[in-house]
Amino acid sequence: MLKINNLKVEVEGKTILNGIDLEVNAGEVHAIMGPNGSGKSTLAQVLAGREQFTVVDGTVRYEGQDLLVLTPEERARRGLFLGFQYPVEIPGVSNVYLLKAAVNAMRTARGEPELDAFDFLTLVRARLQIMDIPETFLYRAVNEDFSGGEKKRNEILQLLLLEPRLAILDETDSGLDIDALKVVANGVNSLRAPQRAFILVTHYQRLLDYITPDQVHVLSGGRIVKSGGRELALELEARGYDWLKDEAA
Amino acid sequence: MSALHDIRDWYRQEFAGHAPDMAGAGLPWLGARRRAAMELFANTGFPTRKDEHWKYTDVSPLALRQFRPADSIPVETAALAVHRLDAWQLVFVDGRYSPALSRLDGLPEGVRLTSLADRLRETPEMLEGWLGRHVGADRHGFAALNLAFAEDGAVIEIRRDVDLAKPIQLLSVQTAGQDSIQHLRHLILLEESARAAVIESFIALTPGASFSTGVTEIDLAAGSELTHYRLVQNGDDASQIDTTHVQQGRDSRYSGHAVNLGGRLLRHELDCALAAAGAECRFNGLTLARGQAQVDTHTRFDHLAPHTTSREWVKGVFDDEARGVFSGRVVVHPDAQRSDAEQSNRNLLLSARAEADSRPQLEIYADNVKCTHGAATGSLDPDQLFYLRSRGLDAARARQLLVYGFAADALARLPLDDLRRRLAAALGERLLPGTNLEGLIP
C-alpha cells in the first residue's frame, strides 16, 4: 500500500528526515516511535502533503502511484488520512459543516452522490456514539474552545466518517487521560480491516496497550534505527531511547 | 479649489431654498443652529487629506459632486420583508419617516418612540437641550451639513427601569438613487437602569451614487444598558458618513456592533465618553469591502472617570482594490484610575491591490491603568489551509471557507440570534457562492 524509499526531507535548509525506508501493507498497523525531535511528525505531515517541507531525495509510492506529486486534497481523496497532533481551530465554521464538506468531497471523488443533511446526520450520529461525543459538539466552531481530549476525539470522529485506506495518527494519544485513550483506541480498532492500514506515531508505548501493532519502528535522527514487533515497544518503555542512539552511532 | 468653493455655494443655495419649509423651521433655537451650521460649512467645506483625521480618506467623490434630495420611488412592504426583524420598526425612506411602512403597535408604557420631524412639529421643547449637544457642526463638514439639513430621524426615550422586551429597528431605505442626498438624525435617551436594543439598518433599493449623512446621539443614564447594532447593506455605489456619540453615566453599559457589507465610501465615527465611574463600552466591528470601496471605522473612547472599561474588536476583509482605515483612539484621562482598555484590529487582504491602514492610538494620562492593543494585517493562515485541504477540500474552497470563518467569527458576539444567523447567511452567500450553506453557522 505504502512504500517509502530513502526519503530525505529538509525544512529551511535543515535536514529532518535522512533516508527513511518503510513499507506498509494493507491490513497492517505500524507504530513509529522515537524521542522528541526525531522527525516523527515531519514524516506524518510530509505523507499528508504539507508544503513547508522540501523533499530532497527518495520516493513515496502509495497504491502503486507517486504520492509526492499529489496535492494534500488529492491524497485525502485517495484515502489517505492524517490525524493531527495539534488539530487546528477554525473559528466561525461549524464542526458539522466541515465534517459534511469532507465526507462529500470524498464521495464526489469516488463518483458517489453527495449526502444531504438528513443522511449525513444519520451517519454521524452512530459515530458520535462510538466516540462518546454529545451531539452539541457538531454545532460548535471547528476545534475552537475544545479541550485537548475533545480535539483528539474530533480527529478520530473524522477518521470514522472518512473511512480512509491509510490512516496516519500523529501523537493522537498525547495529552489524553486513560478513559479518553480507551475511547480513541476503541474508535481506531472499530475501523481495523484487511483493506486498511494504520501508522501510529507516538512517543509512548501506552497507546499500543490498546491498539496492537504488527510492527514497531524507532525513528532517531531522521532515520529508522530499529524495527521489530510489539516487544520492541515494551523494551523502549523499559530502557528509554538513549541506548538506540548509542547503537546507531 | 474653485470646484470646492462651488460646492459650498451649492449647499448654501440648497439651504436657502429648503430651510423655510423644513420641519421645525419656526423654532428660533433650531433655525439659529441650522444657520450657524450652514455658515460653518460654507466657511470650511468638506475635510481634505490635509486634515489629520482625514489623511487616509479621500472624500473628493462626495465633495466634487452636486447631490440633492430626489423623489422617492414607492416602496412595497414586501420589498422590506427580508430586512425586518422581530422588532418595533421606524422606517425612513430617503431620510423621511414613513408611518405606513413602520410598525409600532404594542409598544409598552415607558417607551416613547417618534420621528424627529413629528417631534419638531408637535412637542419640540425637550429637543432643544439635545440636538447637536454631542455631535455639533464644528466636528467636520459632514456633521455641519447634517445639522443644517437633517429634519427627520428617530427620537427614542426609555423611562427609568424599563427593560424593553423587543429591539427597536430604525430601517433606512434609500430609493432616490443617482446623485441623491439624505440626512438622518437619531436621538436615543435611556433613563436610569433602562435596558434596550436598537438596530440601525441601512439598505438601498436603487443603485447609483448616492450620499447620506447620519448622526446618532445617545445618552445613557446611570445603570442603563444599550445594545446598538449598525448594519450597512447599501448598494456598492452608495456613500455614507455617520457619527455616533455615546455619553455614558455611572455603571452604564454600551455594546455596539457594526457590520458593513456594502457601500462606496463608508465612514463611521463612534465616540464613547465614559464620563462616570463603572461605565463600560464594547464595540465589535466587521467590514467586508470589495471593488473600489473605502470603508473606515474611527473610534474614540474617552475614559474620564475611575473604573471605566472599554473593549474593542474590529475586523476587516478587503478584496479587489478596496481599502479601509481603522483608527482607534483610547484616551485615559488623569482622573480615570483603574481603567481597563483592550483593543484589537485584524484585517485580511485578499488581493495585492487591497489595503488596510491600522492606526491604534493609546493616550494614557493616569498611572494605574490596564491597556492593551494589538493589530494584525495579513493573508490566510497556512496551518488552517493545510488542515482543510487534508480533509479533501480543494485549495480554492478551503480559502473561501477560511475567509468566511474569519468574518463570521465576528458575529459570534451578537446576542440577537435571529440577526446573527441572517448576517452569517449573508456572509455565506457573499463569500461561499454556489455552495450549500446548511449547518454552516455554529
Asked whether the beta carbons of residue A76 and residue B395 sit closer than 8 angstroms, the reply is no
Which of B362, B355, B409 lies closest to B381 in space, CA to CA? B409
Taking only the tens place, the pLDDT of each residue in A75-90 is 999 999 999 999 999 9
Q: Which of B386, B397, B404 sits opposite A72 (nearest CB)?
A: B386
Place of cell 448622526: B215
Buried b (16+ CB within 10 A) or exposed e, B339-371: bbbbbbbbbbbbeeebbbebebeeebebeebeb
Q: In chain B, which residue's Cα lies nearest the Cα of A80? A: B390
Q: In chain A, which residue's Cα lies nearest the Cα of B402? A: A90
DSSP class of B22: S
Query: Do B331 and B271 meet the contact criterion of CB atoms below 8 Å apart?
Result: no
Rounded distance, CA B273 to CA B253, Å? Answer: 11
Rounded distance, CA B118 to CA B139, Å? Answer: 26
The reported pTM is 0.92
Instruction: Please say if the pLDDT value at position A47 is more than 90.
Output: yes
Q: What cell was used for A104?
A: 462529500
Q: Which of B382, B387, B397 sits opposite A84 (nearest CB)?
A: B387
In the sheet that holds A54-62, the strands lie side by side as A14-24, A2-11, A54-62, A65-66
Instruction: Please say if the pLDDT value at position B70 is more than 90.
Output: no
Three-class SS state of B18:
helix
Instruction: Please say if the pLDDT value at position A242 is more than 90.
Output: no
Q: In chain B, which residue's Cα lies nearest the Cα of A87? A: B387
Taking only the tens place, the pLDDT of each residue in B83-133 is 899 999 999 999 999 999 999 999 999 999 999 999 999 999 999 999 999
A50 contacts on B by Cβ (under 8 Å): 386
Which range is least confidently modeled, B85-99, B195-209, B330-344, B422-436?
Answer: B422-436
pLDDT band at A205 (very low <50, low <70, confident <90, very high): confident
Q: State the CB neighbour count (10 A cutoff) for residue B427.
A: 27
Rounded distance, CA B212 to CA B67, Å? Answer: 10
Domain range for residue A13?
2-248
Tell me the C-alpha to C-alpha distance, in Å, between residue B399 and each of B128, B183, B271, B387: 53, 39, 35, 11
Instruction: Please say if the pLDDT value at position A35 is more than 90.
Output: no
Rounded distance, CA B185 to CA B151, Å? Answer: 7
Asked whether the beta carbons of residue A76 and residue B387 sit closer than 8 angstroms, the reply is no
Q: Which of B393, B411, B441 sits opposite A102 (nearest CB)?
A: B393
Which range is least confidently modeled, A143-157, B136-150, B187-201?
Answer: A143-157
Interval B363-378 mean pLDDT: 90
Interval B261-282 mean pLDDT: 97
Q: What cell was used for A135?
A: 451531539
A89 contacts on B by Cβ (under 8 Å): 384
CA end-to-end distance (rounded Å), chain A:
31
Q: Does A88 touch chain B (CB under 8 A)?
A: yes
Tell me the C-alpha to C-alpha distance, in Å, between residue B160 and each of A100, A104, B219, B383: 50, 55, 13, 51
* CA distance to partner chain B, nearest, from residue A28 (Å): 22
Q: State the CB neighbour count (10 A cutoff) for residue B189.
A: 20
Q: Does A137 touch chain B (CB under 8 A)?
A: no
Q: What cell was used for A185?
A: 483506541
Three-class SS state of B193:
coil
Residue A96's domain is classified under what CATH number?
A: 3.40.50.300
ipTM of the complex: 0.96
Rounded distance, CA B199 to CA B299, Å? Answer: 19
Q: In chain B, which residue's Cα lies nearest the Cα of A110? A: B392
What single letter denotes the amino acid at residue B412?
A: A
Q: Which of B383, B407, B439 sits opposite A94 (nearest CB)?
A: B439
B383 contacts on A by Cβ (under 8 Å): 88
* CA distance to partner chain B, nearest, from residue A169 (Å): 13
Rounded distance, CA B185 to CA B132, Å? Answer: 10
Q: In chain A, which residue's Cα lies nearest the Cα of B439? A: A97
Q: Which of A97, A105, A140 sits opposite B439 (nearest CB)?
A: A97
Look at chain A and report how many structural domains it folds into: 1
Q: What cell was used for A134?
A: 454529545
* CA distance to partner chain A, nearest, from residue B356 (Å): 22
A102 contacts on B by Cβ (under 8 Å): 391-393
CA end-to-end distance (rounded Å), chain B:
53
* CA distance to partner chain B, nearest, from residue A240 (Å): 32
- Contact residues of B toward A, CB < 8 A: 382-384, 386-395, 397-398, 401-402, 404-412, 438-442
Q: What cell was used for B110?
A: 415607558
Q: What cell was used for B380?
A: 490566510
